[in-house]
Structure 1
């Protein structure tokens, strides 16, 4: 009888499930895990519920209190962090389980995503228009500015995992006051984490404070971001920013592409 992945993963990496607890941080260090130290400014946690390409309406919840109570001092991307994040209580839509911070509307064809912020007064809005082919730019309209997301780049080698072929795409965001890029660092942060980095700062995500604008981490035990669905937590700056809706909209683009990548792979395999 097959043992569910969650049970095996928990018993493997959670120290309290072992007769002789191991130093998880030491193990993470041995395999190259190294989270940026400058993440103290990312104090807002937003839960991105389970969704896939057929989802048309998605409320994102503010869960900062529950997140910090559960994660404590666990290092982002580390084994303990992944365990705590997976086991953390998450909103189910019932009252009292977290306030809705953003509302996301999408069409099933993947041509547009509308993000609106929920707050007193007039919240910010951003609309993402996605191209029909990956060779064209996506565009995000926010207020009077238009942000562009060119086709993804692939600076890292592909890797095949239990979740499928991981191509590790990076996504740039131009038109903002500073150049931004969604990056994945499988060695330092694992294959479940994307960071939005200010690329104008030399040194990348390890340069210092505010170099990292946002962090997204998948909320389940898997070797890489799954291709069938998405669910995770988005970390944002403690002080709300007018561009938060742009960050959310661009993340929806990233996650949809990761899921779309699976469809491309299956089509290629079906030809053989």
Structure 2
């Protein structure tokens, strides 16, 4: 690895590739006295910056902003933030952390969906359980089903189980355990939006409709929805359908992907979940469980290749 100072910042060479955007944090934040002689002492910043650099390798700094940035409004009551670590279907265990303070100070001050929002989310220190103050809210185990257990002291923890759809079905089963009580929810996969065709593939946008009993009364009718054109394809929001015309009040939670992709990846999941500041533990574990079902559905989307016009014509003969 070699790091050279340029007029615009630092140019980092790793093998045959250059990562010019590392200057975003390194050049602006390190004391001048340390630059550039002792810059290699700060290579600990590189893992956080690779996500940024990879996007700029493919798109370039200005084209990424013009093509991918769609600013969306965040309701003021969604101030609790949970970190969903990067995972796929091969990961058997991970923890979900509360990052509310760090998120509000460094990420939430930027418009959701903006280039700076994505950069700050990527550069935010990710809790791992190895540092003082890392607050794991839920422990997730993935096997044939997904088990979610609340991490709490002073009372019995809540836990939940998400069973994937049986072959041929589109409904995931959620069970929430609270002491001696059991509440059941169903997450039904549906596709109200038209498919999107790109040069390489066809993209589908799954919704997940939640229904069932939640506590002593019937749960509100909720949908995990995505609005690619209006709010960006990297944002999903949980909407109370009975309050859909009430603006911010109908949005119960928001999930935003961690990364610079133009669409949600189907190979892995990674992001931040925003919840109401005054939400209850039962509400939180229910939303987290439904999100796990949604993300599993997104990861199972086929990477359908777009047919050429010739092949489409031949198939119709």
Same fold by TM-score, threshold 0.5 exceeded?
yes
Match of 1:138 in 2: 172
The answer to whether the Cα contact below 8 Å between 1:74 and 1:81 also exists between their aligned partners in 2 is yes
Q: Deviations over 1:62-94 (max 9, x none)?
A: 111111111243222233322222222212332
Contact 2:164 2:171 in 1 (8 A): yes
Which structure: larger Rg? 2
What SS does the aligned partner of 2:128 have? Answer: coil
Closer, same or farther: CA 44–141 of 1 in aligned 2, 3 Å: same
Structure 2: gaps of 5 or more residues: 1-15, 19-52, 308-314
> Is 1:128 paired with 2:162?
yes
Aligned residues: 247
Equivalent residue in structure 2 for 1:239, among 267, 271, 278 = 278
**RMSD, matched Cα:** 2.9
Give the TM-score normalised by structure 2. Answer: 0.70
* 1:169 CA drift (Å): 0.7
Distance in 2 of aligned mates of 1:243 and 1:148: 15
Aligned-pair CA distance for 1:32: 9.5
Residues 69, 115 of structure 2: 8 Å contact kept? no
- Measured after TM superposition, the shift of residue 208 of structure 1 is 2.9
TM-score, normalised to structure 1, is 0.80
Matched with 1:85 is 121
Task: Give me the whole-angstrom Cα distance separating, in 1, the residues matched to 2:108 and 2:206.
Answer: 30
Could you say which structure has the greater relative contact order, defined with CA pairs below 8 angstroms and 6 or more residues apart? 1
The reply to whether residue 213 of structure 1 matches residue 252 of structure 2 is: yes
Q: Deviations over 1:166-203 (max 9, x none)?
A: 20110000014211110011112211111011011142
Residues of 2 paired with 1:224 and 1:90: CA distance?
22
Task: Name the residue aligned to 1:154.
Answer: 191
Shift of 1:123: 2.1
Selected match of 1:182 from 210, 218, 224: 224
Q: Secondary structure at the match of 2:104?
A: helix
